[in-house]
Amino acid sequence: MNGINELNQLKAKAVKDFEVTDGYRVVVGMATCGISAGAKPVLEKLREETAAKGLSNIQIVPTGCIGMCIYEPIVEVFEPGKDKVTYIHMDPDRVSKVVSEHLEKGKPVVEYTIGEGEGDKLRNLDDVQFYKKQKRVVLQNCGLIDPENIDDYIAIDGYQALAKAVTQMTPQEVIDLMKASGLRGRGGAGFSTGMKWSFAAANEADQKYIICNADEGDPGAFMDRSVLEGDPHSVLEAMAIGGYAIGATKGFIYVRAEYPVAVHRLKIAIEQAKEKGFLGKNIFGSNFDFDIEIRLGAGAFVCGEETALIASIEGKRGMSRNKPPFPANKGLWGKPTIINNVETLANVPKIILNGPEWFRSMGTEKSPGTKVFALGGKINNTGLVEVPMGITLREVIYDIGEDCLNGKAFKAVQTGGPSGGCITRENLDTPIDFDNLVAIGSMMGSGGMIVMDEDNCMVDIARFFLDFTVDESCGKCTPCREGTKRMLEILDKITAGNGTLEDLDILEELAENIKNTSLCALGQTAPNPVLSTIKHFRDEYVAHVVDKRCPASVCKALLSYFITDACTGCTRCVRVCPTKAITGTVKQRHVIDQDKCIKCGACMDACTFKAIIRK
């Protein structure tokens, strides 16, 4: 790759292949979510059937996450001059019909599409409520291009930003542009990317590194994986731009091992980029060299923390250390190192190409741009949502998510994963940005957004997150290692029905101490879910400790079994009860002796009349 002209020639050719001028382009969502819903046989069937019928003007493209998990497997058909058609819940049988009707005869199979729109217009995903308030920047190419084909990426301006940076800008100009854009790190802390780069650039060193943090540890978030699976080149391009800006010639992508599809696609992407000369020596004919290596994590949440991540790449136990020195001064093997999150990086090429004003035109003054959230939990539309910063939680949950499942009442939404907190109804109108979420007692985190309804017990949820952090604490500092464990024991005691009011005070005191004294942000934020649930749902805690009752009927030890009028006296339950707690005469309603009941649930499983309830 010698210069921008050569890239443009490549592009001209790639665009021809990418834009269908006659015939169809058929894309199949093949991210992990699609594959697990059964996209592989769908893709195979499509290939088989079109080949068998000898249809030649059809491009079949496996692509990344289209975004709406509940409709997977999704197949979209693009036709020049027409709106795309979205087929949902596809399977091989449906494929046969789509091939013979739509691709062969030009008649879309209406009953498999996402639904009919107004007039004779077929609805596609773009018309769906879920997408209306979204703004796809980071996810723009996911679901559009073939992630395993670099030409697709080149066709949609891929590597133009790198070409521009390397051939037309100085490293300082790149950094200034990033600063002007106001991009803040999407990995959790929200630190200015341009500032961070400038620190590393200012350090003189024989070797510097740039690391892409793809450890994605939040147990309820998967946007980074989607970007890597759907648009891996954007991350490579951004790393090269970052490398150019700070003077690094080597990059590492630290990916969690649980993401085999992402790793596979990254490997392909790196190979292709090397082949084309976007990575390697003398990129675009300049004297800038840059190479990228993949390193796999091995299942440790703490390795998302930058200093622990560095230790892990160095081949050690992933334990964090005190900062300063910050990695920008002393990082990997003691050299200046920049660590950026996947989503942060995915923004970079677009900012370089479209300029800081464009980026600032989205989002809020202090948090420009968009943010991707993994919307999940008790909500109708689960999936990845990319929204401009500043949108309210209410819009995300009600307009995009379309309300709680089964008409249940909304209780809270948890953001920031195990480091964040829950947000209740009163704060739903808060515009989402880094600072506002902190102000209402939660945080942005990496973008997990889990909706909870009346059936979720908040004490149990707090216990869930704490259980996670206890498991994941690296064990280096005492407050985090021992303190979180003690907190978990208290929560266990409460959910088992043995808690006291005093326990709540101890919990809060411990939480404050752990926050103030832990070594890294893992421990410093671990108590947040507990503190925030105590703050907003103290009454639930009190119900557990004083009334020995779980209002949401989740905590097993606090539930009781009852037999209702639906009982026919069949005696089946009597026979399975291990403690002989059930008594009654044949053909009459039975009763459970609460003192003898050990709450094993055997009677409920045995009852064929749904006459046994738990509350």
Ligand X SMILES: Cc1cc2nc3c(=O)[nH]c(=O)nc-3n(C[C@H](O)[C@H](O)[C@H](O)COP(=O)(O)O)c2cc1C
Residue closer to another protein (CB basis): 150 or 461: 461
Q: Identity (one letter) of the amino acid at 510?
A: L
Contact 241, 338 (CB under 8 A): no
| Separation CA 308–CA 325 (nearest Å) | 14
Residue closer to ligand X (CB basis): 480 or 550: 480
Is the peptide bond prior to 527 cis by the omega test (within 30 degrees of 0)?
no
DSSP assignment of 73-96 equals: S-EEEE-TTS--EEE-S--HHHHH
Contacting another protein within 382-411 (CB under 8 A): 382-383
Residue closer to ligand X (CB basis): 140 or 337: 337
Q: Taking the complex as a whole, how short is the minimal distance between the CB of residue 559 and another protein, in angstroms?
A: 13
Q: Which residues pair with 392 in a beta bridge?
A: 431
Contacts of 168 (CB under 8 A, 6+ apart): none
Q: Does 499 bind ligand X (CB under 6 A)?
A: no
Q: Does 72 bind another protein (CB under 8 A)?
A: yes
Q: Which does 413 bind (CB under 5 to 8 A by kind): another protein, ligand X, none?
A: none
Binding track, positions 187-206, relative to ligand X; x by CB under 6 A? xxx-x---------------
CA–CA distances in Å: residue 310 to residues 253, 307, 339, 559: 11, 5, 9, 47
Residue closer to ligand X (CB basis): 149 or 312: 312
Q: Does 64 bind another protein (CB under 8 A)?
A: no
Of 202, 236, 215, give the one whose Cα is nearest residue 306: 215
3-state helix, strand, coil in the chain (%, to 5): 45, 15, 40
Q: Does 331 bind another protein (CB under 8 A)?
A: no
Binding track, positions 341-370, relative to ligand X; x by CB under 6 A? x--x--------------------------
Q: Taking the complex as a whole, how short is the minimal distance between the CB of residue 480 and another protein, in angstroms?
A: 15
Residue closer to another protein (CB basis): 212 or 450: 450
Q: Does 185 bind ligand X (CB under 6 A)?
A: yes
Residue closer to another protein (CB basis): 242 or 318: 318
From 155, 223, 339, 491, residue interacting with ligand X (rule: CB under 6 A): 339
| Separation CA 329–CA 316 (nearest Å) | 20
Look-up: residue for tokens 């639930």?
540
CA–CA distances in Å: residue 305 to residues 149, 179, 211, 475, 500: 32, 23, 12, 14, 35
Return the DSSP state at 432: P
From 238, 375, 428, 520, residue interacting with ligand X (rule: CB under 6 A): 520
Q: Does 225 bind another protein (CB under 8 A)?
A: yes
Residue closer to ligand X (CB basis): 379 or 522: 522
Q: Which does 305 bind (CB under 5 to 8 A by kind): ligand X, another protein, none?
A: ligand X
Helices (H), 420-548: 434-439, 458-472, 478, 484-495, 501-517, 521-525, 528-536, 538-545
| Separation CA 427–CA 337 (nearest Å) | 38
| Separation CA 456–CA 452 (nearest Å) | 6
Q: Does 578 bind another protein (CB under 8 A)?
A: no
- Show the tokens assigned to 303: 């390795």
Of 491, 499, 477, give the one whose Cα is nearest residue 531: 491
Q: Which does 72 bind (CB under 5 to 8 A by kind): another protein, ligand X, none?
A: another protein
Contacting another protein within 442-481 (CB under 8 A): 448, 450-452, 456, 461, 464-465, 474
Which span sits near ligand X by CB under 6 A: 127-135, 275-283, 335-343, 577-585? 335-343
Contacting another protein within 272-311 (CB under 8 A): 295-300
Q: Taking the complex as a whole, how short is the minimal distance between the CB of residue 466 and another protein, in angstroms?
A: 13
Q: Alpha-carbon Rg of the chain, whole angstroms?
A: 27
Of 444, 418, 603, give the one whose Cα is nearest residue 528: 418
Contacts of 259 (CB under 8 A, 6+ apart): 32, 214, 216, 225, 228, 229
Binding track, positions 212-241, relative to ligand X; x by CB under 6 A? -x-xxx------------------------
Neighbours of 7 (CB within 10 A): 23
Residue closer to another protein (CB basis): 116 or 471: 471
Which span sits near another protein by CB under 8 A: 27-35, 88-96, 123-131, 338-346? 27-35
Q: Which does 341 bind (CB under 5 to 8 A by kind): another protein, ligand X, none?
A: ligand X
Contacting ligand X within 448-487 (CB under 6 A): none
Q: Identity (one letter) of the amino acid at 183?
A: L
Residue 452 — left, alpha, or beta (φ > 0 → left; ψ -120 to 50 → alpha)? beta
Contacting ligand X within 269-328 (CB under 6 A): 302, 304-306
Residue closer to ligand X (CB basis): 58 or 520: 520
Q: Which does 298 bind (CB under 5 to 8 A by kind): another protein, ligand X, none?
A: another protein
Q: Does 73 bind ligand X (CB under 6 A)?
A: no
The separation between CA 90 and the C-alpha centre of its own chain, rounded to angstroms, equals 24
| Separation CA 91–CA 16 (nearest Å) | 31
From 13, 82, 281, 317, residue interacting with another protein (rule: CB under 8 A): 317
Residue closer to ligand X (CB basis): 184 or 536: 184
Q: Does 258 bind another protein (CB under 8 A)?
A: yes
- Show the tokens assigned to 205: 């060193």
Compute how many residues bind another protein; rule: CB under 8 A.
Answer: 49
Q: Taking the complex as a whole, how short is the minimal distance between the CB of residue 447 and ligand X, in angstroms?
A: 10
From 312, 446, 473, 484, residue interacting with another protein (rule: CB under 8 A): 312
Of 256, 259, 340, give the one whose Cα is nearest residue 297: 256
Q: Does 378 bind another protein (CB under 8 A)?
A: yes
Look-up: residue for tokens 């190479």?
291
Burial of 80 by CB count in 10 Å (0-12 exposed, 13-18 middle, 19+ buried)? exposed
| Separation CA 571–CA 252 (nearest Å) | 65
Point out which residues bind another protein (CB under 8 A): 31-33, 36-37, 68-70, 72, 217-222, 225, 257-258, 295-300, 312-318, 333, 374, 376-378, 382-383, 414, 417, 448, 450-452, 456, 461, 464-465, 474
Name the residues that contact ligand X, by CB under 6 A: 185-189, 191, 213, 215-217, 302, 304-306, 339-341, 344, 446, 520-522
